[in-house]
Structure 1
Amino acid sequence: MWLFDLDNTLHDASHAIFPLISANMNTYIARVLGDGSTPATIEQVNAARLGYWKRYGATLLGMIRHHEVSAPHFLAETHDLADLAQMIRAERGLARMLRSLPGRKILLTNAPTVYSRDVMRHLGLQRHFSHHIAIENMHVHGQLRPKPSKLMLRRLLRRHGVAAHRCILVEDTLANLRTARQLGVRTVWITQYLRMSDPIGTAPLPRMLKRPAYVDVKVKSVRQLPARLHQLR
């Protein structure tokens, strides 16, 4: 069974989508952290975003825990992208690549359902996935547990009746790959759309991206997967 991430894995979210989501997120967090009339400064916003991302794996979890933010409201506001179709950039041949890979394919994304379904529709890839798991579907024991949650991933594997070693996670985010590998899931790291190593765009990636030990296969593009299958068996 294959678990595919969406943003910066199946399409280039860093080109135009992530910058707009980031700007929306800054506006939202500034409003929440402000005093009711004056928004928080960009320094305060960046500190919160980076701190919560490092501590919880997702800024949203910190906003929920420390500021009682509504997850649906946060996701709707930050992913309000009127010109989504014009912002999408992706390679040709993705459908053909997915057809060539043996086994079930599940979309596993920390993005919200409405946004991720829209992206998949524009990419024309919906029919190649048996399930679409967005962040709203990642609750465990009543708590939101997005990637890189081990609890969420264990529950997903149990629900689909698949042993960890028979599952492959295809991702751009190393933290998610690291957690999956700790559970025994095989891992593929996609690197071509990576721009920064933090969510606020202040930490450039090193020029040479070395493959960590917990990554089984490192490829630039998902289109290289069929040629690397022998390394995942």
Structure 2
Amino acid sequence: MTRAARRPVWLFDLDNTLHDASRAAFGMLDVSMNAYIERELQLPAPQADALRRDYWRRYGATMLGLVRHHGVDARHFLHHTHLLPGLEDHVEGHAHDKAALRRLPGRKYVLTNAPARYARRVLGALGLARCFDGVISIEQMRMFGQFRPKPDRRMFQALVARLRVPATRCVLVEDTLAHQKAARQLGMRTVWMQRYVRRSSHGPEVGVYLHRKPTYVHARIRSLQKLRRL
């Protein structure tokens, strides 16, 4: 096996991994999704907010609940809820991330449950777009006509087949433990990004900073610079 063939394939989450989404983006998305649900389902504001939260907790993505129970068109939802005027003015990352990413050997992809246009806007605002070989967004996480976003194991299996690498060569860098657990079950290496976890108002890790990492997590970091040591 050549040296290039042994290099890892890095899969980076976007929100609260490459930027501080809890600072502004998540709040903007909450408002946008509530407005969409109010308008499309003709619900009062409190009920729309409760529905958004309920579907997010149950399915890991509000969109999945709206598609399943209300027949909402997923692409219509993604487009209108992620318009987010002025988003770029609020994106906040870390000054040393670009250098850290460029030093990593192997291919690098962004793997996000967000739509591609949003992901590219965020990467552009961070100045990181050229650091990655591609963006794998929720639009590409469809199987047999249904969306299968993270942490769906079937999506991870299809992904490694598409990348033409064994799962053991993939490294998932994420802030969400449920996604890491699914990836680890397939043999991927997992890295828990904890840079923004304490400030996050989203995800099962809200307010959590574990002193002992879960057994399915290979390493936990607070800086991308630490990845070279893994």
TM-score by length of 2: 0.88
Structure 2 residue aligned with 1:20: 28
Query: 2:115 and 2:170 mapped to 1: Cα distance?
Result: 23
Please provide the CA RMSD for this pair. Answer: 2.0
Structure 2 residue aligned with 1:92: 95
1:154 maps to 2:157: yes
Paired residue for 2:145, among 134, 142, 145? 142
More deviation, 217-226/157-166: 217-226
Aligned 8 A contact 1:9 1:222 in 2? no
* % same residue: 48
Question: Deviation string for 1:31-54 (max 9, x for gaps)?
Answer: 3443xxxx3342x33442333223
Question: Deviation string for 1:197-224 (max 9, x for gaps)?
Answer: 646x9x9513656422211111122232
Post-superposition offset of 1:116: 0.8
SS at match of 1:64: helix
Letter in 2 for 1:124: G
- Where in structure 2 are there 5+ consecutive unaligned residues? 1-8
Structure 1 residue aligned with 2:4: none
Letter in 2 for 1:110: N
TM-score by length of 1: 0.87
- Where in structure 1 are there 5+ consecutive unaligned residues? none
Change (3 A) 1:115 1:209: farther
SS at match of 1:9: coil
SS at match of 1:92: coil
Query: 1:67 and 1:154 mapped to 2: Cα distance?
Result: 29
Paired residue for 2:80, among 77, 80, 83? 77
Paired residue for 2:111, among 100, 108, 113? 108
Query: 1:16 and 1:209 mapped to 2: Cα distance?
Result: 28
Query: 1:46 and 1:224 mapped to 2: Cα distance?
Result: 38
Question: Deviation string for 1:37-72 (max 9, x for gaps)?
Answer: xx3342x33442333223322111111010111111
